[in-house]
Structure 1
Amino acid sequence: MLARKSLKTQFIITFVLILTLSLAATAVTYLAALRAFSLLQYKRIYTANHFERQVPQLEETIRQLGAAVLADDAILARLIPSEGFTYQVVDGYGGFLYGTETENIIGSSEELYTRINTTISHEGKFVRVIPLFSGRSLQGAVALVYKLTPYIPRAQDRLWLIPLGYLVILSPFIFIVVFTYIFARRFAKSIGEPVNMLIEASHKVQVQDLDFTIDYQADNELGRLCRAFDEMKEALKKSLLAQWQAQQQHQEIVAALAHDLKTPFTIIQSYAQALLGTADHGSKAQKYLQVIADNARRGGQLVQEMLYAAELEVSQPSIPTGFDLPAFLKDKLEVYRGMGEEKNIYVQLESAPEEELSSVRLDQGKLGRI
């Protein structure tokens, strides 16, 4: 299959196919055009030498008429066909007398003598110079002008035959453009399939989705690129898996350690508080017990923070939701006021209006830990 070959081979084969098919299609088109031309010849299309073949008969008639045509322009008007021919009558000095060809062809008597009985080329046309004698004296000449090109006599046929002729002439270039477009699309499709796979795979890697395979088997540059990308993905998957496992083990160790430390700190704090109630006021024992209780409480708080940190690492980010923030603040105010009364501290709440606080979206659980 062409799409599985190397890019260089694909390009060469595509180029050869474009040229081969273009040449074949052009050959078929030219053969069909020749066949159509042979069928239309002398019916709708005259050959290039159609008017040239009429020249000998016209020349013979003009020679027989001789100098009589110099004075009567109606003779040649009736004799020479209006389609395909123009003519010009000159006197013995090469001067223009009359005719349908107005451009100067013969300018002097010397030029007239050198050009009689010859066919010359004049501005893309052919001119047959026919002498006019009166006896043996040269009185003038008729310049019969025609072209050697195919001729379409009917105007309605020209509307489609002429564009068709140009289309046939330009057919090689048209076929090259058409086949180039067709094979370029196929070539782009063969390249686009693995490229799109790689783009999709890169997007999956970006979101850490490594459970996929690139199913493109080809012994070419793109196939090797896809296999290399797949191997890179597998290596990355193993690396991330090892990293995730190590991180999970670390989190489990931290959580277990924090949990194990929380119990002894709680016990120490409880016993210290109990002993404080029985110790003499102002004694060293009470002082030492207070230090033990304070540090046990501080240690418990540190353990609680360790548990909270471990929880943050393993938990998914929470989505803020709407809740009654004014009621939450009032509850907290009562708690802080109770704590402040023991030390003669008055706590007061200052906040924005309740209608503004009602639209706040927060994580209530995390806010409660502050």
Structure 2
Amino acid sequence: METIRPTKGTRLHTFFLRYLLFLSLGVILLVVLLLCLTMFALSTNIVLPANYAETQISISRDRIATSSSVTADMIPDLVDYAVFSKEGKFLAGNLSEKEAFKAWDVMKKDQAQGITQFYSFIERENEICILRYYLVPQYRSAIMRKYLPNPQLLDILLFIIGVITIATVLAIHFGRKLKKKMFGLQEAIEKIQNQNLDFTINPSGIREIDEISISLEQMREALNNSLKQQWESEQTRREQISALAHDLKTPLTIIRGNAELLQDTDQDDIQREYNNYILKNTMEIEKFTKELIDLSKMEKNIVREKTSVKTDAFMTEVEDQMRALSLEKKLQVDVQKETLPTLILIDEERFYRAIINVIANAVEHAPENGKVTLAVEGAADTIQFTVVDSGCGFSPRDLNEAAKQFYRGDSSRNAGNHHGMGLYIAQSIVQSHDGTLLIANDLSAGGGKVTITIPTDFALA
């Protein structure tokens, strides 16, 4: 498989510098656009220049100074006024009395401006007219002046909104572009998480990302080789176990056959006792060998066809075997069935083996004259088999490891005559049906509880 090679792609900082360059160009274009709009507004008199009021005051100054009285129609637009006597008495104007006396104080201090306003003073024969104005652009329309911020503030707001918009649009664009560049890297990580090591990472065009991709590719290759070696080693181990189990069958059959023949001969008590030992342990080894062969077949992941099985008939076989297994210990058998589907789609032989393995485990750990319960319940999306025994229950370690291969449990629950493969085989079969096997303790019975659940994909109503 080809691996990614180092490329002379773009540096990551160059990628971000491009973003800053485009952002700067966008801001410059925004400033030019706002300037053009401002010039257009000024040229069409939609917006009046900042010195408009000051110019109009210069034009109207002589008229205000020489007229018999000051009236509102003499005062230019955008200008407020107040008329005082020489002694400082407020006579007329559209300024409030408070604002008028503030303007008077500014005049007395010989200032032409206050904090934010500008003032012009016109001497009349017996009066003084004070005009207040602002050196900022203003709208010609009174309605616009009432409802809109002044043009200067509006330009600032439009500039801020424009910069934010440009930055956001460019960030989205460059973000998507960067995400596209990193897609191969992200896809590779997801495939490794899903244990899929058969892939190639395409160059992104950005040097730093490609360097990470090269490291990831090297890790993938090393991991793939390691897993391949591990798989080959595991496969060899399975084949050796399977071959050994098959090789043991012939001598075991011979030993058992001869031991059974010896039982038909005249033997004293000691000879008969020794012969029984041979038979008993030979049968135990045969059972263990059969489990090894079954385990070997399962671990080869042979795909077997599932068939529609009548639930009632299947349950009858399970119940019969459950009662047969319980006879030796004189166990009470309780079978509960609720809302069962008519058919279940399963590999009947293997799924039957899984259920019986769980039941056999419960029987093994139940005390003499105890009780074993099998509860089967169909639901909207699952069918569930729960087996409970009246034994001492699973230890904390058992709860975590009881379904592991060759785990035989602690002495409190281990009867000594099993090989730690029953629940492991059951779990493997259940998983092949896309189901789950959960191990717990039953609070009411006090014993162990094993629950098998398969989805309704395998249950037909």
Q: TM-score, normalised by structure 1?
A: 0.71
Distance 1:212 1:163, change over 3 A: farther
- The CA deviation at 1:99 is 3.8
Q: Does 1:306 align with 2:292?
A: yes
Greater C-alpha Rg: 1
Q: Does 1:130 align with 2:118?
A: no
- Choose which of 106, 113, 118 in structure 2 pairs with 1:121: 113
Give the counterpart letter for 2:141 in structure 1. Answer: R
1:343 — aligned with what? none
For 2:254 and 2:50, how far apart are their aligned partners in 1?
121
For 2:173 and 2:50, how far apart are their aligned partners in 1?
44
- Choose which of 172, 177, 199 in structure 1 pairs with 2:159: 172
Point out where structure 1 has 5 or more consecutive residues left out of the alignment: 70-74, 133-139, 341-346
- The CA deviation at 1:238 is 1.3
Report the secondary structure of 1:363's partner residue: helix
For 1:228 and 1:300, how far apart are their aligned partners in 2?
51
1:93-104 to structure 2, matched below 5 A, reads 93-101=87-95, 102=97, 103-104=100-101
- The CA deviation at 1:252 is 0.8
Point out where structure 2 has 5 or more consecutive residues left out of the alignment: 1-8, 361-461
Report the secondary structure of 1:352's partner residue: strand
- The CA deviation at 1:265 is 1.9
For 1:106 and 1:166, how far apart are their aligned partners in 2?
29
Conserved in 2, the CA contact under 8 Å of 1:95 and 1:106?
no
1:16-31 to structure 2, matched below 5 A, reads 16-31=21-36
Of the structure 1 ranges 184-193 and 51-60, higher mean CA displacement relative to structure 2 is found in 51-60
- The CA deviation at 1:273 is 3.1
Report the secondary structure of 2:128's partner residue: strand
1:363 — aligned with what? 351
2:333 — aligned with what? 351
Of the structure 1 ranges 185-194 and 358-367, higher mean CA displacement relative to structure 2 is found in 358-367
Give the counterpart letter for 1:220 in structure 2. Answer: R
Give the counterpart letter for 1:363 in structure 2. Answer: F
For 1:365 and 1:160, how far apart are their aligned partners in 2?
84
Distance 1:288 1:89, change over 3 A: closer
Conserved in 1, the CA contact under 8 Å of 2:41 and 2:47?
no
2:131 — aligned with what? 145
Larger RCO: 1 or 2 (CA < 8 Å, sep 6+): 1
1:1-370 to structure 2, matched below 5 A, reads 5-38=10-43, 40-41=44-45, 44-56=46-58, 58-65=60-67, 69=68, 75-77=69-71, 80-81=74-75, 83-101=77-95, 102=97, 103-104=100-101, 105-106=103-104, 120-122=112-114, 124-132=117-125, 140-147=126-133, 148-156=135-143, 158=145, 166-193=153-180, 195-274=182-261, 276-277=263-264, 279-282=265-268, 296-315=282-301, 324-330=314-320, 350-353=332-335, 355=337, 363-366=351-354, 368=356, 370=360
For 2:104 and 2:338, how far apart are their aligned partners in 1?
107
- The CA deviation at 1:126 is 1.7
Conserved in 2, the CA contact under 8 Å of 1:218 and 1:224?
no
Give the counterpart letter for 1:29 in structure 2. Answer: L
Distance 1:353 1:288, change over 3 A: closer
Q: Between Structure 1 and Structure 2, which shows a larger proportion of strand residues?
A: 2
Aligned residues: 332
Give the counterpart letter for 2:31 in structure 1. Answer: T
Identity %: 21
Distance 1:248 1:31, change over 3 A: same
Distance 1:128 1:326, change over 3 A: same
- The CA deviation at 1:304 is 2.7
C-alpha RMSD of the superposition: 4.2
Conserved in 2, the CA contact under 8 Å of 1:259 and 1:307?
yes
Conserved in 1, the CA contact under 8 Å of 2:263 and 2:275?
yes
Conserved in 2, the CA contact under 8 Å of 1:7 and 1:221?
yes
Report the secondary structure of 1:120's partner residue: coil
**Cα deviation 1:62-107 (Å, max 9, x = unaligned):** 5545xxx3xxxxx322762363444444334343344444412447
- The CA deviation at 1:22 is 0.3
For 2:120 and 2:33, how far apart are their aligned partners in 1?
37
For 2:50 and 2:281, how far apart are their aligned partners in 1?
119
Q: Between Structure 1 and Structure 2, which shows a larger proportion of helix residues?
A: 1
Distance 1:256 1:145, change over 3 A: same
Of the structure 1 ranges 156-165 and 24-33, higher mean CA displacement relative to structure 2 is found in 156-165
- The CA deviation at 1:255 is 0.9
Q: TM-score, normalised by structure 2?
A: 0.59
Distance 1:265 1:37, change over 3 A: same
Report the secondary structure of 2:113's partner residue: strand
For 2:216 and 2:206, how far apart are their aligned partners in 1?
15
Conserved in 1, the CA contact under 8 Å of 2:48 and 2:137?
yes
Conserved in 2, the CA contact under 8 Å of 1:52 and 1:146?
no
For 2:234 and 2:223, how far apart are their aligned partners in 1?
16
